[in-house]
Structure 1
Amino acid sequence: MDHSEYANRLDAWAEAHRQEMTDDISALVRIDSTKGEAKDGKPFGEGPAAALAAMARLAESKGFQVHNYDNYCITADLAGDGEKSLDILAHLDVVPVSKDWKKTQPFEPLQEDHYLYGRGTADDKGPAVAAFYAMRAVSELGIGLRHGVRLILGADEECGSSDLEHYYGIEKEAEYTFSPDANFPLINIEKARLAKKFTADLPEDYHTPCVLEIDAGSKANVVPGTADAAFRGLTKEQLEQAAGETEKKTKAAVTWELKSDREFVHVKGQTGHAAMPDNGSVNALTALLFFISRLPLAGTKTTHALLGLAELFPFGDCHGKALGVDLCDEESGELTLSLDILKLQNGKLTAEFDCRAPLCATEENLTEKIRAMLRQKGFEMEDGPMTPAHYVPADSPFVKTLLQSYERYFGKPGKPMAIGGGTYVHGLKRGVAFGCEVEGVDNRMHGDDEFVDIDVLVKSVKIFADTIIQLCG
């Protein structure tokens, strides 16, 4: 179908439904859909199940056929004359929140002009609703389809995508799939991922000054915004000097408190997505390791282990240079690496890093290289290969069709990109990520004060609807 046949009607429909769409996104944002304790019939807890139920009610109210796959995910179908050929994958679960939001509370959406703040507005409730509104637009404008479209909304994308494992254990992959959970113009390469735990058993040697405990990070794919440590035997002057040097080097805020025979230190950085550790985040954990490196600690095995970590994961090294794995290729770009979890208690140290690797990465030049470097410092890394990269050829008809829809509404050429993040399509043969972030805008995904640009979402409705028509109409 020629774009000119429906363009004006589609534009008018999307603009007329702007506020309604914003209200529907806000209703979903009010649901805390962070993964919780599994219950009968609710594999990811109460919140994700409630978000699925709310979206199911919305889709059914607009006449879509909805199916619930055991509260792992739901689907909404837009029928065509023949079998469906397009799946759109999005998710309704969200990552945990901090107490440091300033614009509003995470689950109290706030609209300011054309911005909507709240956890999930950008990742991924806003884009999910935009995709649903694109299907609504095609349906309500009476544009006939030769092939059907299915919107698949999951509830475990942030914690392993077991929802899709469940779904694809029942259903087949569509001929084409896109996920509005990343960037425009289009992502056809998702880098390999290596997220590994490593450990060390350390003697409880408390010769002073010494580190007693460390607690930093909660999820491997989130750059930690805070880090806490307890020390013994440090003076106020030593703490002040190390804090000053750390703040100057890292821009993190360091505070401390003296209590009886312990010194408690708190480092405040800025959270962010581990796939983009150099995109405005301030890693509080590696800032804490720098702080420790500036202290006159006793030469215990614990001290040497922590100083070893500070050497292997120095603050600001987001590309694995200190580990000797700063790989790069022209098509998929640079490797990124972030140390995101560190726990030390009673002589047991556990840590976890998150690495996103380009197409040139192998088990030999990445996984085993990191293992060897960690072993030199006394750490043992868990076994297991990296998750392979995902790649769909840039010259495929599917990619070209999506880029044409992008170019119609953005008015400029679109080029496929590579990212470090892994989206829902990572394990699919014919899937790409398509929207909704735009170049030059940091939506603070996984961070404080996450927001979405409603103007971009309205444009996304038009683009997704145009894509549906071009592929299925």
Structure 2
Amino acid sequence: MRKYREEIEKYIDEHTNEMVEDIKRLCAINSERSEYVEGAPFGDGPRKALVLALDMADKYGFDITNYDNYAGAIDLNKKAKGLDILAHLDVVPAGEGWSVTNPFEPKVEDGKIYGRGTSDDKGPAVAALYALRAVKELGIPVKKNARLVLGTDEECGSACIKYYYTKEKQAPMTFSPDGEFPVVNIEKGQLQGEFLAAVEDAGDKRLVSIDAGTKVNVVPPKAKAVIEGFSVDEVEKEAKKVTKETGIKFAYDLEPVFEITAMGANAHASTPQMGNNAITGLLELLSRLKFSPSNKIETLKKLYKLMPHGDTSGEALGIAVKDEKSGELTLAFSMLDLKDNRLHGFFDCRIPVSGDGDKILETVKKKFKGIDVELLNDTVKLPHEVDANSPFIKTLLSIYEDYTGLKGECIAMGGGTYVHDIENGVAFGAVFPGTDTKMHGADEFVVIDELVAAAKIFAQSIVELCE
């Protein structure tokens, strides 16, 4: 039996209901990033979530610091830096397709909490807070400080944590409960590509506009196009074939314009194979319709050939690569806007540790230039890796094994977390192996028993890493 384990488990079990209620309170706030307002750099929702979380910690007797509503910190004590835990309170857009509850009306059902942010990342953030509470209220002696840092812009570039680190230094060890168990010691590199093209239109059968996608790191579940000169029968004949081949469904609105809506399934851009991309499904249909010849249609067809439906590994672009450590490259065509003869879009590419980011960037630029589309990006985020044999990681894995009875091992993921640029930072939970929490999708949830287990693991980790 690990030292203090019995006390930690008893404490978390006794405070589970309280923890669930705190999660529900936080998840009732729509903290999607919005326009800047004074005192709220990422909009009022993220600010409200941060203020509430810090108020909770203050009520529980912790010293708190608010870094200009970019981020907040909750300290176990006033001793030297030992461990930072980085979590975030902002969320991706709610999206559509929710069936269990409304996105910001958290609901407990069948041992799960449903709602946007329950898994990513408000639930794990509160679990980390309760881990700190356990150590504090049980009076477990530690020699160093553990600090919970709460950001408000992780989903849109992590400007919050960049600001935080202009004010504070990194701790000797850092983990983020914004990934998976056991320990994520490798995060793939990333190219979030933005592209632009001027196109020309002609003829009676025209593609007027496309509006698809909401965030670069989300596989879009819906994509819309407005066309002219077609009958519903013409479109539906081809649409039925596409639906049969891809699973993408289509709906039509004839007034005041002929609008086609493609409906797929969203997913995180780091795991595009888990979704069904509505943009590429829509382009598959449009490429089959007999539009009047134009530069616009030809450019769109050529672009689609580079990122066709179902190609989530970059084969058509000529950038596919994989390795044993971190798996294969992933590619998600995530946003597309066509309006007034201006084509503008984004894709998200996650690169394994063996991938040459600069070579991949140059390959994409060359392929896009060949179809008269300009790639606006000129940088690639490098992969992140922490030595799997370090005492820090070995401690985390040992605790995970003891508390779960499952094998502790290092894993790689495509998703980028706060620790991507932290020298000794890893993702540690809070999702358990085999659980799909529908993160970034409709009916996102967290399993209460798993979050309770995570809180216990976090508390034990604080004790042993700061002892």
**TM-score bin (small chain):** over 0.9
Amino acid at match of 1:264: E
Match of 1:277 among 272, 276, 290: 272
Contact 2:351 2:357 in 1 (8 A): no
- Corresponding position: 1:431 with 2:429: no
**Alpha-carbon separation, structure 2, partners of 1:241 and 1:185:** 49
- Corresponding position: 1:268 with 2:263: yes
Could you give the per-residue CA deviations for residues 306-342 of structure 1, whole angstroms, max 9, x where no partner exists?
1112211111111001111111111111000000111
CA shift, 1:13, in A, is 1.1
What is the match of residue 171 of structure 1? 168
Amino acid at match of 2:301: L
Contact 1:289 1:309 in 2 (8 A): no
**Alpha-carbon separation, structure 1, partners of 2:280 and 2:82:** 46
**Alpha-carbon separation, structure 2, partners of 1:461 and 1:338:** 33
Could you give the per-residue CA deviations for residues 243-263 of structure 1, whole angstroms, max 9, x where no partner exists?
101111221210113346x42
Contact 1:267 1:284 in 2 (8 A): yes
* Structure 1 counterpart SS, 2:344: strand
- Corresponding position: 1:206 with 2:202: yes
Question: CA-atom RMSD, angstroms?
Answer: 1.2
Contact 2:85 2:148 in 1 (8 A): yes
**Alpha-carbon separation, structure 2, partners of 1:73 and 1:92:** 9
**Alpha-carbon separation, structure 2, partners of 1:246 and 1:215:** 19
**Alpha-carbon separation, structure 2, partners of 1:339 and 1:352:** 7
* Structure 2 counterpart SS, 1:169: helix
Could you give the per-residue CA deviations for residues 211-255 of structure 1, whole angstroms, max 9, x where no partner exists?
111000111001111100011111222111111011112212101
What is the match of residue 106 of structure 1? 103
Match of 1:227 among 223, 240, 246: 223
Task: Tell me the TM-score normalised to structure 1 length.
Answer: 0.97
What is the match of residue 314 of structure 1? 308
CA shift, 1:387, in A, is 0.8
Match of 2:381 among 378, 383, 387: 387
Could you give the per-residue CA deviations for residues 148-183 of structure 1, whole angstroms, max 9, x where no partner exists?
110000111111111111111011000000000010
Map 1:150-165 to 2 at 5 A. 150-165=147-162
- Corresponding position: 1:371 with 2:369: no
Could you give the per-residue CA deviations for residues 385-430 of structure 1, whole angstroms, max 9, x where no partner exists?
1011111011111111111111011102211111111000011101
- Corresponding position: 1:396 with 2:394: no
* Structure 2 counterpart SS, 1:142: coil
What is the match of residue 404 of structure 2? 410
- Corresponding position: 1:215 with 2:205: no
What is the match of residue 464 of structure 2? 470
CA shift, 1:299, in A, is 2.0
Contact 1:201 1:348 in 2 (8 A): yes
What is the match of residue 234 of structure 2? 238
Match of 1:44 among 42, 45, 49: 42
**Alpha-carbon separation, structure 2, partners of 1:453 and 1:364:** 40
What is the match of residue 62 of structure 2? 64
Match of 2:125 among 98, 123, 128: 128
CA shift, 1:208, in A, is 2.8
What is the match of residue 296 of structure 1? 290
**Alpha-carbon separation, structure 2, partners of 1:335 and 1:402:** 28
Match of 1:361 among 350, 355, 378: 355
Amino acid at match of 1:351: G
What is the match of residue 254 of structure 1? 250
* Structure 1 counterpart SS, 2:273: coil
Could you give the per-residue CA deviations for residues 333-356 of structure 1, whole angstroms, max 9, x where no partner exists?
100000011111111000110000
What is the match of residue 327 of structure 1? 321
What is the match of residue 340 of structure 2? 346
Contact 1:246 1:254 in 2 (8 A): no
* Structure 2 counterpart SS, 1:85: strand
CA shift, 1:100, in A, is 2.3
Match of 1:193 among 175, 190, 194: 190
Contact 1:212 1:230 in 2 (8 A): yes
**Alpha-carbon separation, structure 1, partners of 2:407 and 2:194:** 42
In the alignment of these two chains, the number of paired residues is: 467
CA shift, 1:72, in A, is 0.5
- Mean Cα deviation higher: 453-462 or 305-314: 305-314
Task: Tell me the TM-score normalised to structure 2 length.
Answer: 0.98
**Unaligned segments of structure 1, at least 5 residues:** none
**Alpha-carbon separation, structure 2, partners of 1:64 and 1:76:** 6
Could you give the per-residue CA deviations for residues 352-402 of structure 1, whole angstroms, max 9, x where no partner exists?
100000112224431011111111122110132101111101111111111
Contact 2:358 2:380 in 1 (8 A): no
Counterparts in 2 of 1:5 and 1:398: CA distance versus 1, 3 Å: closer
- Corresponding position: 1:53 with 2:47: no
Contact 2:189 2:357 in 1 (8 A): no
CA shift, 1:206, in A, is 3.0
Amino acid at match of 1:219: K
Amino acid at match of 1:438: F
Amino acid at match of 2:360: L
**Alpha-carbon separation, structure 2, partners of 1:457 and 1:333:** 27
**Alpha-carbon separation, structure 2, partners of 1:163 and 1:258:** 44
Amino acid at match of 2:166: G
Amino acid at match of 2:66: N
* Structure 2 counterpart SS, 1:39: coil
Amino acid at match of 1:317: D
* Structure 2 counterpart SS, 1:278: helix
**Alpha-carbon separation, structure 2, partners of 1:227 and 1:300:** 22
**Alpha-carbon separation, structure 2, partners of 1:5 and 1:329:** 39
Amino acid at match of 1:53: V
**Alpha-carbon separation, structure 2, partners of 1:367 and 1:7:** 49
- Mean Cα deviation higher: 360-369 or 377-386: 360-369
**Alpha-carbon separation, structure 2, partners of 1:302 and 1:179:** 45
- Mean Cα deviation higher: 420-429 or 95-104: 95-104
Could you give the per-residue CA deviations for residues 59-111 of structure 1, whole angstroms, max 9, x where no partner exists?
0111100010000011010016x412100000001111123211110000010
Contact 1:198 1:352 in 2 (8 A): yes
